Amino acid sequence: MNDLSDPRPPLPEWILDAYDILCTHNFNSTEEEDVQSIPREQALEILCSTDNVALESEDAAHALSRLIERGYFYEVDGELRVTMLED
């Protein structure tokens, strides 16, 4: 489901499902900032091993790329960070 108040462009439901799975997973918090992050490789492993969506490695990589391109995540030194929307 796409939220009309969300400024990010809509994505297919299966990619949003992948986003939800990653967001409900325990993220690391960087000590210098209150930023939640997860290594890209770990995110791929999570998406390929979950029973909630059936993704092969290429599909998981595509989902991550689309989530980064659309601003749901951003990547720093191989770590994915959740983009926090301003109110």
Distance (Å, rounded) from C-alpha 45 to C-alpha 56? 10
**Average pLDDT for consecutive 10-residue bins of the chain (87 residues)?**
64 92 73 73 92 88 95 91 73
Task: Supply the pLDDT for residue 1.
Answer: 46
> Of how many residues is the chain composed?
87
Q: In what helix (H) or strand (E) does residue 74 lie, and over which residues does it extend?
A: strand 73-76
Instruction: List the domain boundaries for the chain.
Output: 13-82
Task: Supply the pLDDT for residue 87.
Answer: 52
Task: Supply the pLDDT for residue 54.
Answer: 79
Task: Supply the pLDDT for residue 60.
Answer: 95
CATH of 13-82, one of 3.90.930, 3.20.20, 3.40.50, 1.10.10: 1.10.10
Task: Supply the pLDDT for residue 28.
Answer: 61
Q: Record the pTM.
A: 0.78
